[in-house]
Amino acid sequence: MFRILILWRSRTPRVVSKGLFLEKPTEINYYRKSETCWLDYLPGAALQVVATINFVAVALEDGAINFYTNTGRR
């Protein structure tokens, strides 16, 4: 039996630096047995993440859905 942990951090609030608005991308981490299997950065904020043994789906605020295999392939 596999234990899978998926951690995501949505974009942080805008930071103003010399008149520019900067946003950090959403970071998706996929862990298995406390080891990072893959990592991805997404341009929009993640609203929902769903995982099965074989796939991971990430819904973004712009309506896009990203699908990944358990090896991180899109």
Which residues are CB-contacts of 18 (< 8 A; sequence separation ≥ 6)? none
Beta-carbon neighbour count of residue 11 at 10 Å? Answer: 16
Structure confidence at residue 65 (pLDDT): 94
Could you tell me the CA-to-CA distances from 67 to 53, 57, 73 in Å, in that order?
13, 5, 8
What is the full per-residue pLDDT of the chain (74 aa) written as tens digits? 455 566 666 655 555 666 666 677 788 888 888 888 899 988 888 888 888 888 999 998 889 999 999 889 99
CB 37 within 8 A of CB 70: yes
Structure confidence at residue 1 (pLDDT): 45
Model confidence, pTM: 0.71
Q: How far is the C-alpha of 26 from the C-alpha of 10, rounded, in Å?
A: 5
Structure confidence at residue 7 (pLDDT): 63
Structure confidence at residue 52 (pLDDT): 87
